[in-house]
Amino acid sequence: MSAQNRSPDSQEWVLKPESEYRFELDPDTSLAIKLVRGKAEIFGAELVPGKYYLFGVECQPSTEYISEDTPMQAYGNLHIALEKMRVRSLFTLSGSSLSPGEPQSNARPSDPPRVLVIGPANSGKTTLCKTLANYCVRAGQGWTPILVNIDPNDGGWAPPGALSAAAVQDPIHTYSAAMSLGSAATTAPMSLASNTLFPLVYWYGHADPKRNPKLMERLIRNLGENLEERFDQKPETKASGCIVDTPALFSSGPAATAELRLQLIKACVDAFRINTILVVGQEKLSAEMKKIYGRQLTVIKVPKSGGVVDLDNTFRERVHSHQIHTYMYGTNIRPPSGVPSNSVSVAGEPNSDLILSPASTTINIGDLTIFRIGTEAMAPASALPIGAKRVVSEMQPISIDASLPGSGLMNKVLAIMAPFNPDENERYDEEILDLTDRDGFEDEKDDYIEAE
């Protein structure tokens, strides 16, 4: 594998089997990688020889090295175990035997893999999820696993503040911190050949899961219900299973949040019918999950990659801003010096084809109906006076008058929900909460507006 080009800054790296080339980029820098000979992959997605792959944070990497300490062997073993579950599940669902001479009654039934990935911040959970999803679709069995992101701090295929899920049919290409799960119909032109992801998105509205845990629970349940509807379409879809990426809150935090995180983990286990929990890089959390779920689920501790980098709050805020900008305007990464622009592709497409041109529309403020779920600052129930009850519940939609100075809408991102049914005269709170539901995985209609 080589980061080679005509520039004096180019360098060739020779990788041994089961070793990794790792690099870190400073802001506003990029790196082009080309596989000269052999075979290699990025997060489980195979590289095409002779083709440049562009990576950027918005030229040289600040750090680059080769490491033979890689968790990929463990990830590969996990994939094989999950693949066996898929095959057995497909035979069970289709009523077939595992081999031509084996009676159907002797076939050992198996549930499809329903995987929950948990671990502390900066442990490589998203990397593991992408790798397992990419290995699954590369198996050549026509699998379409559902990749679920319930970390509102990331947003997945939407800006931060969203929960999302998508059926993965082709390997996911990752090239920027703002596109942690690759490009989708919501973040790039739909005419792209590599753009096959049509995510289902729910708008949570906060980057922190603790801001409104009851709303988080509801959205997790809604995602689970939508997954079951898709799984009922055909056996191959159900047998593919799902992989659920989670926020760092699920693994650790102050003692006051212990009950909350266990509650949200249970919500995921129930909503997605989890049968396998992968704990990344934390032995204490693994022991805790085995104690709680060991009798009903499979709990596996997965090693943390040595290439994971600790990210500070300043970097995360910069990534949040970049994610919102990328969602609205697409992405355009400048290739390093010496690499021709026409020879570089991003996610399998020319770099210029990933640029969006959003249009501005002026409307009367009175034509908008804006709701906020709960209050903007919600104190925990333990902070309320003894015997006191909330005036506004966490699940109550509150109508916001955008014309008032104290509306709190300055520089906010709002989700455009489905319009009211014309034959209905009123909306109930429960219906408003579910308006964030999109029309499924095949017909994505999710969009956002930014309030100035």
d(CA 352, CA 344): 10
d(CA 160, CA 203): 9
Q: What share of the chain is helix, strand, coil (3-state, %, to 5)?
A: 30, 20, 50
- Contact between 91 and 98 under an 8 Å Cβ cutoff? The reply is yes
Residue 125 is labelled as binding a ligand: yes
Burial label, 82 (beta-carbon count in 10 A; 0-12, 13-18, 19+) = buried
Distance of alpha carbon 239 from the chain centroid: 21
Residue 126 is labelled as binding a ligand: yes
Residue 122 is labelled as binding a ligand: yes
d(CA 190, CA 316): 28
Residue 180 is labelled as binding a ligand: no
Q: Retrieve residue 335's tokens.
A: 């290739």
Q: Retrieve residue 305's tokens.
A: 């990659």
Q: Which amino acid is at 408?
A: G
Q: Which amino acid is at 288?
A: E
Q: Which amino acid is at 321?
A: S
Q: Between β-strands 412-415 and 448-451, what pairing exists: parallel, antiparallel or unpaired?
A: antiparallel
Residue 394 is labelled as binding a ligand: no
d(CA 326, CA 356): 9
Helix, strand counts (H, E) of the chain: 8, 21
Residue 307 is labelled as binding a ligand: no
d(CA 328, CA 449): 9
According to DSSP, residue 267 is labeled H
Whole-Å CA distances, 444 to 187, 198, 202, 236: 12, 6, 12, 22
Residue 123 is labelled as binding a ligand: yes
- Contact between 215 and 204 under an 8 Å Cβ cutoff? The reply is yes
SS3 at position 328: helix
Q: Between β-strands 276-280 and 114-118, what pairing exists: parallel, antiparallel or unpaired?
A: parallel
- Contact between 56 and 147 under an 8 Å Cβ cutoff? The reply is no
Residue numbers belonging to the annotated binding site for ATP: 20, 122-127
Residue numbers belonging to the annotated binding site: 20, 122-127
